[in-house]
Structure 1
Amino acid sequence: MEKPYRYKNKLLEIIGERHKMSVAMLTYLFDGNFSSEEFWDLIEDYFLGILPKEIM
C-alpha cells in the first residue's frame, strides 16, 4: 500500500466516532457540577443510548 495513512475502513470509522462520543461524555460528566443522583442518571441514560444534547 503506497499511502497507508489514507486507508479507510467502516469499522474503524465507527470505533473512532464512538471513542470521540465517549470522551465527550466523560468530559461532560467530570467537568459538570452534578449531584451524585444526576451523575448516575446520566450514566444510566448513556448506557441506554440517551445522550445529553450538550455533547451531540
Structure 2
Amino acid sequence: MDARLLDILVCPVCKASLEYRKAEQELVCNPCKLAYPVRDDIPILLEDEARRLTLDEK
C-alpha cells in the first residue's frame, strides 16, 4: 500500500487514522475496533464491509 495514500486515509465512521496490517490485508481503526479489507491494493472503506476486531486483536 502506498505510504502517501495511508497518510490521507481515515476511518469513514470516526475519522481516526488507520493502521495498515499487511499480512491480513486490512486497514484497522483502533477507536472503532473495525478492520476494513484491502482488495487488489484498493481499500474498501465501507462500514458494511468491515469486520469487528476480536478481543485478542485489540
**TM-score above 0.5:** no
What TM-score, normalized to structure 1? Answer: 0.27
Greater C-alpha radius of gyration: 1
What TM-score, normalized to structure 2? Answer: 0.26
- Structure with higher strand content: 2
- Structure with higher helix content: 1
Report 1 or 2 for greater relative contact order, CA contacts < 8 Å, sequence distance ≥ 6.
1
